[in-house]
Amino acid sequence: MNAHPKMPNSHSQALAKRAGQVIPGGVNSATRRLARPYSWDWAEGAYIRDVDGNTYLDYHAAFGPILLGHNHPGVNAAVAEALHGVDMVGVGVTEAEIRLAEKVVEHVPSAEMALTFSSGSEATYMAVRLARGVTGRSKLIKFQGTFHGWHDYLLMNIISSPEKIGQKDPGSAGQLQDAIDNTIVVRFNDLDAVEAAIAAHPGEIAAIFLEAIPHNIGCVLPRQDFVEGLRRLCDEHGIVLVFDEVITGFRHGLGGYQAKLGVKPDLTTMAKAIANGYPCAVVAGRRDLMMQFSTAPGGKVFVGGTYNGHPVGTAAALATIAALEDGSVYERTFRLGERMRTGLQEIADRLGIAMISAGYGSVFTPYFMDGTVERYEDLLRNDTARDVGFRSAMIEHGIFMLPLAIKRNHISAAHSEADVERTLDVAETVLKTMR
Ligand code: PMP
């Protein structure tokens, strides 16, 4: 199906057909399958091009990793350089791995030690196991609307339909019932609900998992008193507080969103923007907890992984962090993000369109609704058809925003002022047709 008649996509369609013969659904991750098939052959800076020659200004950023811009020369050079030395031996440690852990400890306020993995899901999985291992407890608390990766433990109640809210809403067939039973889902930004959940399961909660900003539903900011309350409750009840900063880590500052909140979790998971598109993820946190991983002598919480600390991801992360350290990327992307958010809001208000221009830093998400957003439940008022319609029309004008409702958009250091102004001009043209 060609959802955008003005843009050719016969080559993408042919590849999708071929892919479908040998790859289930023709894609390697579920959310990559869209109504219109895409295949890409070039990406640089803020731009991506499909195999039919359509070039787009990219705000999808590969679900978030691309913070410096696509194909960043410094990061690519560091990766190439890393491969001139040793590829992988798989015992001991490389100096690059040490430097990466040192950088995480230097920048992330709660990080005293760090372990490196390849993906965010591995990091959150290991944080779950560590929390259970050190507390001897089984239950986890997560919030409605948050996503923490593909494993059984936390894959539930993300984009729930209204009738599923307040119930267990598992994300996949084949999930272990025990994992579902042991995960308690609570309303976001509702400290009383967290307190009630803890009281209902005295001495049983191992960890509370918080997406530092729930960006898997766009951008819903945590209230400061909510996060401080979580910290207090975890201290009172011996619960491990985990900030999942897989999206927010390094994107919202070298110290992640915890630096802005001024609240220290016990463990933090990071991935995506730490390595600008290369596979790298980190679990970092309190020394006494981290020393319980079996990489340390006497540590009882098993951790392994052939590709942990892989030279490619590690070199990419070191080069990415080096490019972020003078702060100019944050100054620029936050400024452009602010311009985008206020610009979109101003256009919608002027045209009388119900829209909330949400976001933080380099992230922006227009919700097609009135009022305020404090939690996932509020987003049930979002007009999905208008949201997806807006995004699809933007794509037709050469501006790529994932054509799914309540998904976040990302600005990179490669986006220019002119790119943002052009985006706002196109948005105005599109929104005018939606009055
Ligand atoms: N946590 C959060 C907050 C995420 O957004 C994601 C991925 N979107 C993950 C964990 C899982 O990361 P990965 O896809 O690298 O396994």
Domain CATH number, residue 128: 3.40.640.10
Give 353 Cα–ligand 1 centroid separation in angstroms. 32
The DSSP code sequence of 360-425 is ETTEEEEESSSS--SSGGGGGGS-HHHHHHHHHHHHHTTEE--SSTT--EE--TT--HHHHHHHHH
pLDDT higher than threshold 50 for residue 1: no
Do 335 and 279 sit in the same domain of this protein?
Answer: no
Q: What confidence score (pLDDT) does residue 5 get?
A: 62
In a domain, 4, yes or no: no
Confirm or reject: Cβ of 245 under 6 Å from ligand 1: no
**Residue where a domain terminates, one of 324, 343, 371:** 324
pLDDT higher than threshold 50 for residue 33: yes
Give 158 Cα–ligand 1 centroid separation in angstroms. 12
- For 339-368, the pLDDT digits (tens) are 999 999 999 999 999 999 999 999 999 999
**Alpha-helical regions (H) of 305-364:** 311-324, 328-351
In a domain, 352, yes or no: yes
Q: What is the residue with the minimal CA distance to atom 9 of ligand 1?
A: 149
In a domain, 200, yes or no: yes
Do 64 and 190 sit in the same domain of this protein?
Answer: no
Strands 205-211 and 139-143: what pairing? parallel
Domain that holds residue 385: 10-71+327-432
Confirm or reject: Cβ of 118 under 6 Å from ligand 1: no
Give 429 Cα–ligand 1 centroid separation in angstroms. 34
Mean pLDDT of 18-27: 98
Mean pLDDT of 234-251: 98
Confirm or reject: Cβ of 120 under 6 Å from ligand 1: yes
Confirm or reject: Cβ of 147 under 6 Å from ligand 1: yes
* ipTM score of complex: 1.00
Give 313 Cα–ligand 1 centroid separation in angstroms. 16
Alpha carbon distance 323, 327 (integer Å): 9
Looking at ligand 1, which atom is closest to the CA of residue 119?
A: 15
The answer to whether residues 311 and 85 touch, using CB atoms and an 8 Å cutoff, is yes
Do 216 and 318 sit in the same domain of this protein?
Answer: yes
- pTM more than 0.90: yes
In a domain, 3, yes or no: no
Looking at ligand 1, which atom is closest to the CA of residue 63?
A: 8
Q: What confidence score (pLDDT) does residue 175 get?
A: 98
**Residue where a domain terminates, one of 295, 324, 353:** 324
Confirm or reject: Cβ of 243 under 6 Å from ligand 1: no
What is the average pLDDT value for the chain, to the nearest integer?
97
Alpha carbon distance 96, 347 (integer Å): 47
Give 137 Cα–ligand 1 centroid separation in angstroms. 24
Give 295 Cα–ligand 1 centroid separation in angstroms. 24
Give 216 Cα–ligand 1 centroid separation in angstroms. 9
Do 140 and 238 sit in the same domain of this protein?
Answer: yes
Q: What confidence score (pLDDT) does residue 86 get?
A: 85
Question: At a CB cut-off of 8 Å and minimum separation 6, what does 329 contact?
Answer: 67, 68, 323, 413
Do 268 and 354 sit in the same domain of this protein?
Answer: no
Do 317 and 419 sit in the same domain of this protein?
Answer: no
Alpha carbon distance 110, 268 (integer Å): 8
CA 371 to chain centre: 25
- For 275-323, the pLDDT digits (tens) are 999 999 999 999 999 999 999 999 999 999 999 999 999 999 999 999 9
Confirm or reject: Cβ of 318 under 6 Å from ligand 1: no
In a domain, 146, yes or no: yes
CA 258 to chain centre: 15
- For 165-199, the pLDDT digits (tens) are 999 999 999 999 999 999 999 999 999 999 999 99
- For 204-230, the pLDDT digits (tens) are 999 999 999 999 999 999 999 999 999
Do 78 and 66 sit in the same domain of this protein?
Answer: no
List the strands of the sheet with 356-360, edge to edge: 356-360, 363-367, 409-410
pLDDT band at 6 (very low <50, low <70, confident <90, very high): confident
From 27, 121, 159, 248, mutation site for ligand 1 pocket: most ligand atoms within 8 A of C-beta: 121
Confirm or reject: Cβ of 244 under 6 Å from ligand 1: yes
Confirm or reject: Cβ of 121 under 6 Å from ligand 1: yes
Do 42 and 86 sit in the same domain of this protein?
Answer: no
Q: What is the residue with the minimal CA distance to atom 12 of ligand 1?
A: 120
Q: What confidence score (pLDDT) does residue 132 get?
A: 98
- Residue (of 392, 395, 396, 383) closest to 356 by Cα position: 383
- For 251-280, the pLDDT digits (tens) are 999 999 999 999 999 999 999 999 999 999
In a domain, 289, yes or no: yes
Confirm or reject: Cβ of 248 under 6 Å from ligand 1: no
| Coil, strand or helix at 49 | strand
Q: What confidence score (pLDDT) does residue 3 get?
A: 56
The answer to whether residues 149 and 155 touch, using CB atoms and an 8 Å cutoff, is yes
